[in-house]
Amino acid sequence: MRQNVRRYNEAVAAPPFTCFFDARDPLRYHNYAIPDDPVGGDLDAALERLRAEFRRRERLPRFEYVEGFAPELAAALEQVGFELELRAPLMICDADEIGIPPAVEGLRIVPADGDWRAYLTVGLRAFGDGDEPEASDEEVERRAARNDGGSALLGVLDGEPVAVGAATPPLDGLSEVAGIGVLESARKRGIGGAMTVAAARDAAARGAELLFLAPGSEMAQSVYERVGFRAGAETSLYYADPE
């Protein structure tokens, strides 16, 4: 997780944490910190320094990390005012246990490099309010230039782009399935499950032996369970300063 986020984000040391910033995108999910060590206790001064790094860049101070790595950190964050955004089971799936995707009439899943503008625009709208502007030329050029060995897929329903899915480049046999998004108008048809399976299979074809992800809701978790993912032993925590 650390090495993959370093591929395209600025890494800034704020001991005992590392902050990762997207230089162009202020979206909260693209900017966060990860603990360097299994810290806890009195971290007031360190967290104030971390907040300053985020505010200097006009980013919301946030954390994304695996609870088992730093089990005492949550209490320290809450002590200084951070609030829990999400507690999610870290779900896993062996490459040879990826499920059969639901059949969705009219759905084609294609590599996103054939239409980066559609991929970026659908992603913005699937995770946003739904009325976000089309991806800019600069965003398209930047994404097209990034060849990191990961998976990026576009779901097209009856000729219209409606869904996206991705997986990180395999590292030590591991790959994270992420960015599974479906436009609101195309939800509850099985498209999310189909995109999850496609991204997982693509990562497996690139060398991943174990896939993992963190569901954003109970509904998303049920989708992932239906296509072969199961809750593992670890939990992902997401904390943020109140806006």
pLDDT value at position 23?
Answer: 85
Q: Which helix (H) or strand (E) holds 154?
A: strand 151-157
Residues 6+ positions from 24 with CB-CB distance below 8 Å = 139, 142
pLDDT of residue 136: 93
The tens digit of pLDDT for each residue in 6-53 reads 888 999 999 999 999 998 888 888 899 999 999 999 999 999 999 999
Confidence of residue 83 (pLDDT cuts 50, 70, 90): very high
Structural domains in the chain, CATH included, are 2-81 (no CATH), 94-232 (3.40.630.30)
Percent of all residues in the chain with a pLDDT value above 70, rounded to a whole number: 100
Which pLDDT belongs to residue 29? 86
Whose tokens are 């199961």? That residue is 230
Asked whether the CA dihedral 213, 214, 215, 221 is positive or negative, the reply is positive
Cis peptide bond N-terminal to 102, omega within 30: no
Over pLDDT 90: what percentage of the chain?
Answer: 82
Of the candidate ranges 133-137, 142-146, 189-193, the one whose mean pLDDT is the lowest: 142-146
The predicted structure's pLDDT at residue 4: 87
